[in-house]
C-alpha cells in the first residue's frame, strides 16, 4: 500500500486530477461533475476557535432560557428545549423524543466540545489520544445536527400559535437564532481538513510535487457567502 | 477521463487521501477502512428506500397532532390537514414552507433515489451530470423534512394549559420522523460514483 500525495480524486464521480496549488480563498472544482475537490481553509481555520467558543456560549443560553411563552385566558405556559422533549416523552413518543434530544441537544454539544478540543490540539501541534476517532466522529455527527431546522420549526410554531393565544418569544429563541447562524459558519469548515492541519499528517501533504501533465481541475474563486 | 478506479487507486472516504496497491481490509493513515466504493451501496440504499416508502403511508394517514381546545373540543390533524389549516387561515408563507418541507421534499427524495438506483442498475448514461446534481440536491435538502417533527415537539411542550388548550403528539409524527431518518440513511449509503461507473460499463455508448 502506497500513498499518492500529488493526485486528488473527485468524491462524486471518481475523476482523477492533479492536486492543485490553491491560493487564498480559492476552491478547486472537478472538471467532470463540478463537485468541490479542495478549498483554501487557512483563513477559516483561524476563525474556527472563536466561532466554536461563541457557539458554546449561545448553546448554553439557548438551552437554559425558555423558547416561547403563551398566554390564554390569563393562564400561561412556557417551554425550554429540554422541556418540549420531556413533554414528548411523557406523552409516550419515546422515539421522537430521543430523536429531538439527539439532533438538537446532545449532538450539537458533543460536536462543539470535540471540535474545541481538536482545534486546541491542532494549534498546540499535539496529537491527542484518539485524534482520528474524534475527527471521524465530528464528520459522522454533522448531518445529524439540526438546530437550523429547529429554529425554522420554532418560527412556524410561533405563527401557528398566534391565531389561538398570545405568544411571547423567549430569550431562548433569540439565542437559538444566533446559534444557528454561528453553527452555519462553524460547519462550513469541512472536518476532513483536520487531518491535513494536524501535526502527524501535515508533513505528508506538504511534500507535494505537482504533476501538471494530468487533467488539471478548474480553479475558481470561492464564493464569498458560501455556507455549509 | 481517468478515474481512480481504473487506475487502481482507492480514495479514503474520510480524509480523501489516495492509495494504490490496496489489499482488502487495509486502513488509511487516518484509521478509516478503505473501500473502492461505499460497501453494498445499492442493496443498502434499496433497503432504506423501500422501508421509507412503506412508512410513508402511516406517516401521512395517521394524525400528527391531537389538539384539545376549550370551546371547539378535540381535533386530529394529519400533515396535510395542518398545511390546509395554515393555507385557509391566511398564513400562506408558513403553509408553503411546511408543504415543501413535509410533502414535496420527502416525495422528491424518494423519487430521485429510486430513479438513481434504477438508472445505475440499467447502466444508463442518460443525463449523468444532471443525476449527480440531483443526488447532491437530495443530500442537502433531505434534513429539512424534520421541520414538522420539531414543530409538533415544540407545540407539545408549549401548549399545556389544562382545560383550555392542550396538544398531544399523534402516532403519525413517529412514522414521519422515521421516514425522514430512513431517507437520510438512504442518500448517505448511496455512492454517486456508481452512476459514472455504470455509464462507463454501458456497452452502447463508449465514453
**Which residues of chain B have a CB within 8 Å of the CB of A34?**
129, 132-133
Question: Does the distance separating the beta carbons of B168 and A13 come in below 8 Å?
Answer: no
Cell representation of residue B199: 455509464
Question: Does the distance separating the beta carbons of B136 and A35 come in below 8 Å?
Answer: yes
- Angle of helix B128-141 relative to helix B105-121, nearest 10 degrees? 140
What is the ipTM, given to two decimal places?
A: 0.91
Question: Does the distance separating the beta carbons of B150 and A149 come in below 8 Å?
Answer: yes
Please write the tens of the pLDDT for every residue from B12-31.
988 888 998 888 888 888 88
Chain B nearest-CA distance from A76, in A, is 7
Question: Domain residues of chain A, as ranges?
Answer: 60-189
Whether the CB of A105 is below 8 Å from some CB of chain B: the reply is no
Residue whose entry in the numeric block shows the C-alpha cell 472536518: A191
Backbone angles phi, psi at A73, to 5 degrees: 50, 45
Would you list the DSSP string of A1-69? Answer: -EE-TTEEE-TTT-BEEEPPPP-TTEEEE-TTT--EEEE--HHHHHHHHHHHHHHHHHHHHHHHS-SEE
Domains and CATH numbers, chain B: 1-36 (no CATH), 40-201 (1.20.140)
Question: Does the distance separating the beta carbons of B133 and A201 come in below 8 Å?
Answer: no
Structure confidence at residue B20 (pLDDT): 87
For A30-44, A77-91, A203-217, B23-37, which range has the lowest pLDDT when averaged over its residues? A203-217
Question: Does the distance separating the beta carbons of A75 and B150 come in below 8 Å?
Answer: no
CB distance A41 to B127 below 8 Å? no
CB distance B135 to B119 below 8 Å? no
Chain A nearest-CA distance from B33, in A, is 12
Please write the tens of the pLDDT for every residue from B68-114.
887 778 889 999 998 998 899 888 898 999 999 999 999 999 999 99
CB distance B128 to B199 below 8 Å? yes
Chain B nearest-CA distance from A66, in A, is 10
Chain A nearest-CA distance from B151, in A, is 5
Q: What is the mean pLDDT of residues A172-201?
A: 86
Cα–Cα distance list, A49 to A85, A106, A133, A180 (Å): 30, 20, 20, 17
Question: Does the distance separating the beta carbons of A143 and B129 come in below 8 Å?
Answer: no
Residue whose entry in the numeric block shows the C-alpha cell 502527524: A200
d(CA A49, CA A55): 10
Residue of chain B with shortest Cα separation from A191:
B15
The B residues from 25 to 84 touching A (CB cutoff 8 Å) are 26, 29-32, 69-70
Whether the CB of B87 is below 8 Å from some CB of chain A: the reply is no
Q: Name the average pLDDT for chain B.
A: 90
Q: What is the mean pLDDT of residues B58-77?
A: 89
Q: What is the mean pLDDT of residues A66-90?
A: 90
**Which residues of chain A have a CB within 8 Å of the CB of B168?**
91
Structure confidence at residue B153 (pLDDT): 94
Amino acid at each position: 500500500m502506497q500513498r499518492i500525495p500529488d493526485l486528488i480524486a473527485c468524491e462524486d464521480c471518481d475523476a482523477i486530477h492533479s492536486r492543485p496549488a490553491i491560493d487564498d480563498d480559492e476552491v478547486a472544482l472537478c472538471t467532470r461533475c463540478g463537485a468541490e475537490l479542495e478549498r483554501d481553509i487557512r483563513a477559516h481555520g483561524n476563525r474556527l476557535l472563536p466561532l466554536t467558543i461563541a457557539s458554546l456560549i449561545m448553546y448554553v443560553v439557548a438551552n437554559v432560557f425558555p423558547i416561547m411563552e403563551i398566554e390564554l385566558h390569563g393562564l400561561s405556559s412556557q417551554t425550554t428545549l429540554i422541556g418540549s422533549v420531556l413533554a414528548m416523552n411523557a406523552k409516550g413518543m419515546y422515539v421522537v423524543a430521543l430523536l429531538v434530544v439527539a439532533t438538537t441537544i446532545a449532538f450539537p454539544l458533543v460536536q462543539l466540545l470535540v471540535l474545541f478540543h481538536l482545534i486546541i490540539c491542532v494549534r498546540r501541534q499535539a496529537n491527542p489520544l484518539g485524534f482520528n476517532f474524534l475527527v471521524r466522529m465530528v464528520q459522522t455527527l454533522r448531518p445529524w445536527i439540526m438546530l437550523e431546522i429547529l429554529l425554522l420549526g420554532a418560527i412556524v410554531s410561533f405563527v401557528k400559535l398566534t391565531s389561538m393565544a398570545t405568544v411571547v418569544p423567549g430569550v431562548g429563541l433569540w439565542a437559538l437564532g444566533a446559534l444557528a447562524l454561528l453553527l452555519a459558519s462553524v460547519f462550513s469548515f469541512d472536518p476532513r481538513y483536520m487531518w491535513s492541519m494536524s501535526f502527524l499528517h501535515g508533513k505528508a501533504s506538504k511534500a507535494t510535487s505537482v504533476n501538471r501533465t494530468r487533467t488539471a481541475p478548474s480553479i475558481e474563486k470561492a464564493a464569498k457567502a458560501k455556507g455549509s | 477521463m481517468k478515474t481512480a478506479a481504473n487506475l487502481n487507486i482507492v480514495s479514503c472516504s474520510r480524509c480523501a487521501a489516495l492509495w494504490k496497491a490496496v489489499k482488502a481490509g487495509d486502513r488509511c493513515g487516518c484509521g478509516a477502512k478503505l473501500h473502492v466504493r461505499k460497501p453494498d451501496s445499492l442493496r443498502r440504499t434499496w433497503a432504506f428506500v423501500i422501508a421509507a416508502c412503506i412508512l410513508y403511508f402511516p406517516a401521512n394517514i395517521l394524525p400528527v397532532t391531537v389538539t384539545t381546545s376549550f370551546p371547539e373540543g378535540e381535533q386530529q390533524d394529519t400533515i396535510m390537514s395542518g398545511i390546509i389549516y395554515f393555507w385557509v387561515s391566511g398564513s400562506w408563507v408558513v403553509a408553503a414552507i411546511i408543504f415543501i418541507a413535509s410533502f414535496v421534499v420527502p416525495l422528491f427524495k424518494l423519487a430521485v433515489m429510486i430513479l438513481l438506483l434504477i438508472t445505475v442498475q440499467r447502466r444508463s448514461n442518460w443525463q449523468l451530470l444532471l443525476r449527480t446534481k440531483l443526488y447532491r440536491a437530495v443530500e442537502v435538502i433531505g434534513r429539512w423534512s424534520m421541520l414538522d417533527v420539531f414543530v409538533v415537539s415544540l407545540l407539545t411542550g408549549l401548549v399545556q394549559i389544562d382545560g383550555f388548550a392542550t396538544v398531544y403528539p399523534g402516532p403519525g409524527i413517529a412514522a414521519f420522523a422515521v421516514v425522514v431518518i430512513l431517507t437520510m440513511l438512504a442518500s448517505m449509503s448511496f455512492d454517486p460514483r456508481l452512476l459514472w461507473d455504470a455509464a462507463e460499463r454501458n456497452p452502447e455508448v463508449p465514453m
